[in-house]
Amino acid sequence: MNYSDDYFRTGEFAEIVGVSKQTLIHYDKIGLFSPEITDSNKYRYYSHNQLETFPVISMLKELGVPLEQIKSTITHGSPTVLLDLLNTKKSQIDERIRRLNWCKKFIDEKIHLTEEGNCIEPDTFYIKRFPEEYMIRVETPIGVSPSGKYVSASIVKLFNYCKKLGVNSSFSVGAIIPLSQLKKTSYSFSHLYTIVEKTDEIKDLAYDSSGNYLVYYSNKGYTKVLENCHKLLEYGNARDMNLGNCIYEDNILDDLSGRSPNSYMIRLAIEIIGGK
């Protein structure tokens, strides 16, 4: 009997579903997916009905389901077994999408900061408009050095706090230096912070950081932060700017940009109150 008019030969079916002939032969051999007809000459013929089944097998395989489990689901399963498998995979896909979306936001922010640091002239003052962004912040121990284990512990505290709130930040960790804690020979942080998306769950916990800022960049790492904070204030006061009561410190270019700690690009920013 000639099946050519109503059925697909192995090569034809393989081309349609996007796999090799060897894959179809292997699936037949292990009993996962067999042709509807095998004639006396051992020629395999697949029907158009099988075109709807095979993509499910390919999709499950792509999602990491072992071939034996797929075979068991098809051979010995039921609608309930199939639903359990599909719902499990759907949940895993949802989580992967969530994670990939976070990775994309992280990359976008890293691109933004790297382009910012790569384009500016160090040791230069700028007036920049910061967009509407929301920060989650945690307090640091009062009066401690802006380095060492106390700050490290506060970073962990910040990460744990964000985790508790169910938010993932794609931004790096910044620090807040209150002017009350900025002395001639030393300074300390009051808070560490990271920028997050504002949601209903955290709307009363996040702080809006939008506004116009006087900004100073330095590529001398953290060693010049104290000196540059005073430069920032002197510049603003000399121009009768109404400045805020704290300075925001952010690391713009770091090891990922091929810099050593002594050449990190540090951005210092203080809000210009009433500035337009």
Question: Distance (Å, rounded) from C-alpha 235 to C-alpha 270?
Answer: 11
> What average pLDDT score do residues 227-252 get?
95
0.75 exceeded by pTM: no
Sheet-wide strand order for 246-253: 125-130, 211-218, 265-271, 246-253, 174-178, 191-196, 134-139, 207-208
List Cα–Cα distances, 210 to 48, 62, 130, in angstroms.
59, 44, 5
**pLDDT at residue 16, rounded to an integer:** 94
Q: Which domains does the chain have, with CATH numbers?
A: 8-77 (1.10.1660.10), 105-271 (3.20.80.10)
Beta-carbon contacts of residue 256 (< 8 Å; ≥ 6 apart): 110
Q: What is the overall mean pLDDT for the chain?
A: 88
**pLDDT at residue 93, rounded to an integer:** 94
Whether 183 shows a pLDDT value over 80: the answer reads yes
Q: C-alpha angle with apex 73: 70 to 75, nearest 5 degrees?
A: 105
**pLDDT at residue 26, rounded to an integer:** 95
